[in-house]
Every structure is written in structure tokens, then in C-alpha cells.
Amino acid sequence: MDHLILKVTTKLLFAPIILFALYVQFHGDYGPGGGFQAGVIFAVAFILHAFCFGLAETKKVLPQKALTIAMVLGLMFYAGTGVATLLLGGNFLAYTEIDPQSTHHAGQHYGILLVEWGVGVTVASTMLTIFYHFTGREPDIDQEDW
Amino acid sequence: MTGYHLELSPSVWLDLSLLTMMVLVAIAMLRSRHLFAVVMLSGIYSLLSAAFFVSLDAVDVAFTEAAVGAGVSTVLMLAGMLLTARREKPITPGRAPVALAVVIAAGAALIYATIDMPAFGDGAAPANAHVGQAYVEQTPNDIAVPNIVTAVLASYRGFDTLGEVMVIFTAGVAVMLLLGAGSVRGGREVSDVDADKNEAA
């Protein structure tokens, strides 16, 4: 667990990976990608961090409690978008109601962005939760066991 | 399969070599008893299938396969592997004639079914003709996002995707309930290691 090159590389890569996750998240309308992929890429940045610096350090940055809340919030954000369109007078998840006057389907674009954000948050926090729980059960692996 | 001529273009060679490599990796996974090697091979298998999806022009699927299949699944399998033995128990080969018969029968039925399947890229195939065609034609008028996959996923089938997110959420909750963040007794968190020591004492 004391590899200088790995640590330096991880520190260099950490921010670009998250930036790429955000690009995938918000560029999903225009290219391949979306909330599912962005969430996984976001989680991978923290998994890489946990591999190099240990799970305890990663949990200081992103504690399990925050992840549990994020899991629920992401799902509520998605469902909440649907409820909002209901309250605006449309069907559940009928995004056109968000901006009915728009001539270029802005309501649909907003709706997709909001919903994808909910997907991304839930996927990222769930992946990290599963990783935390699996990895948190055994401290270290013997070198002979590989 | 009528009216479809197999052209040995470079992309066909690429597909064939990718599929061959996938079969070889699958055989290597079956034969290996070393769990670490099996996990790594399954990551390679996912990466190969991601490359295959790219060559089929399904970039979104390839992206997901590369991120989830090759990336996170491998990590989770590694993390899961650390909790069990490093080697699979040896099995005595040739003791399952019924299973072999079932596998051969099911495999033969599947290969027989492919004869009726439409050719790759056939415009008259059911997948391309009805609802798929409607999505391709209507997306510019209804939603106006360039990526039709996103339009289908988040708008046309938004309710479906909500269900998918719920499935992921449920998986996370299930793992939390099963593995727990260390057991809690009397409102106090105890790690399993401490609990074992207490029981032994």
C-alpha cells in the first residue's frame, strides 16, 4: 500500500476522471453517455482513490452516510421530476409541461437533464456503497494469496 | 438469411476475430480454478464485448459495457473474491451427463432459432420496422435531442428508466442490509473482528 508512482498517478487522474464523468453526464443528449455511465465513472474515481490510499481515507472524503442520503435523493429527484410534471398539469414524466410555450422543446431538454442527474447521483452512490461494504469487510490481502 | 451475402470486408474480419477471442477467453475462464485469473478474464471478456458493440455501431451499449462490465464489476468481483478462498474447489470432470444433454439440446435449439432471425442491419426486421422506426422519425419533432438513445431512455421510456434506477437503489439497499456497516449492538457500532474476539473469549 505504499507505491509512490501509483499515488502520484491517482492524484493526477482523480480530477480529470470526475470532469469526464460530468461531461458524460451533461453531454448525454448529444453523444453517447448519460446518467448510468456518468455515475459509474464518478464512482470509479473514488474506487481508484480507495485502492491507492486505503478505504479509510476515501471514507473521510465521502462518508457512507452521505452516500446513503445521495442514493435516496437521486431516486427522489427522478420521481420528483415526474411529480412536478403531474402538478404542472401533465402526465407523470411528461416533460413538455415544464416549458409548454417553448418552440424548440426546451421542456423536454430540461426534463431529460433533471432525470439523468437523478440517475447519475443514484448510480454513483449505490456503486460506491456496494464497493464500501464489500471492501470494508477485510483489512488487507496477503501477498502470497494473489 | 435470404438475400444476404457474406462479404469478407475488414469489419467482418474484425467481428470474427473479436468473437473468436471472446470464445477463447470464455474457455479459459471455464478451465481456470484460480479465482483472481477468472475475475481478470471476465474483465477482458467485457472489454472485448464492448469493442464488439462499437463495431456494431452501438456506442452507448459499448460505453456502458466498458464502464460497468469491465470497470466496476471487475472491482466488485475482486472485492468479493477477497472475502472467500482464492481457488475454486477442484471438480471431478465427466460426472454430469444430464447437464451435458440439457446444454447440448438448448444450444442446438438456439442455433436452430438463429436460422429464422433477420439478417444484421435488415431494414424490414421487426426491431427496425415498427416502434424503432417511429422513434427515429419522431425524435427530431418531439424532443429534438441528437442522441436518440437518450431520447428513448429518458423521455419516451422515462417510466421504464425510473424502474431501472429503483432496481439499482434496491441492490444498494440489499447489500447494505446483508453486509451491514459493521453490526450495531445497543446503538454502538462493533466491527466483526471485535465481535469474533469477544465470542472466542
Question: Does B16 lie at the interface with A, CB-CB under 8 angstroms?
Answer: no
Three-state DSSP class for residue B189: strand
pLDDT at B186: 44
What confidence tens digit (pLDDT) does each residue in A19-77 have?
A: 999 999 998 888 888 889 999 999 999 999 998 888 888 999 999 899 999 999 999 99
Using the predicted structure, report yes or no on whether residue B198 has a pLDDT greater than 70. Answer: no
Question: Does B148 lie at the interface with A, CB-CB under 8 angstroms?
Answer: no
pLDDT at A99: 81
What is the C-alpha to C-alpha distance for residues A64 and B170, in angstroms, rounded to an integer? 16
The segment with the largest mean pLDDT, out of B93-107, B127-141, B164-178, is B164-178
Among the partner-chain residues B63, B86, B172, the one whose CB lies closest to the CB of A129 is: B172
Cβ contact A134–B79 (<8 Å): yes
What confidence tens digit (pLDDT) does each residue in B110-168 have?
A: 999 988 888 877 778 887 788 888 888 888 888 888 888 888 888 888 899 999 999 99
- The CA distance from B78 to the nearest CA of chain A, in Å, is 9
What is the C-alpha to C-alpha distance for residues A96 and A58, in angstroms, rounded to an integer? 41
pTM of this structure: 0.81
What confidence tens digit (pLDDT) does each residue in A125-137 have?
A: 999 999 988 887 7
Instruction: Please report which confidence band the pLDDT of residue B197 belongs to, taking 50, 70 and 90 as the band edges.
Output: low
Contact residues on chain A for B60, CB-CB shorter than 8 A: 32-34
The answer to whether the beta carbons of residues A45 and A18 sit under 8 Å apart is: yes
The answer to whether the beta carbons of residues B119 and B1 sit under 8 Å apart is: yes
Question: Does B172 lie at the interface with A, CB-CB under 8 angstroms?
Answer: yes
What is the C-alpha to C-alpha distance for residues A132 and B181, in angstroms, rounded to an integer? 9
What is the C-alpha to C-alpha distance for residues A121 and A105, in angstroms, rounded to an integer? 25
Contact residues on chain B for A136, CB-CB shorter than 8 A: 179, 181-182
Residue in B with minimal Cα distance to A132: B181
Cβ contact B145–A108 (<8 Å): yes
Using the predicted structure, report yes or no on whether residue B9 has a pLDDT greater than 60. Answer: yes
Three-state DSSP class for residue B34: strand
Question: Does B132 lie at the interface with A, CB-CB under 8 angstroms?
Answer: no
Contact residues on chain A for B86, CB-CB shorter than 8 A: 145-146
Cβ contact B169–A118 (<8 Å): no
Contacting B residues, span 89-128, partner chain A, CB-CB under 8 Å: none
% of chain A exceeding 70 in pLDDT: 93
pLDDT at B130: 83
What confidence tens digit (pLDDT) does each residue in A109-124 have?
A: 888 899 999 999 999 9
Across residues B87-92, what is the average pLDDT? 74
pLDDT at B187: 45
Q: What is the ipTM of this complex?
A: 0.87
Give exposure, A117-146, as e/b (b: 16+ Cβ within 10 Å): bbbbbbbbbbbbbbbbbbbbbeeeeeeeee
Contacting B residues, span 62-81, partner chain A, CB-CB under 8 Å: 62-64, 67-68, 71-72, 75-76, 79-80
Using the predicted structure, report yes or no on whether residue B1 has a pLDDT greater than 50. Answer: no
Among the partner-chain residues B147, B166, B179, the one whose CB lies closest to the CB of A28 is: B147
What confidence tens digit (pLDDT) does each residue in B11-69 have?
A: 888 989 999 999 999 999 988 888 889 999 999 999 999 999 998 888 888 988 998 88
Cβ contact A36–B147 (<8 Å): no
Question: Does B195 lie at the interface with A, CB-CB under 8 angstroms?
Answer: no
Using the predicted structure, report yes or no on whether residue B5 has a pLDDT greater than 80. Answer: no
Q: Is the dihedral of CA B180, B183, B187, B193 positive or negative?
A: negative
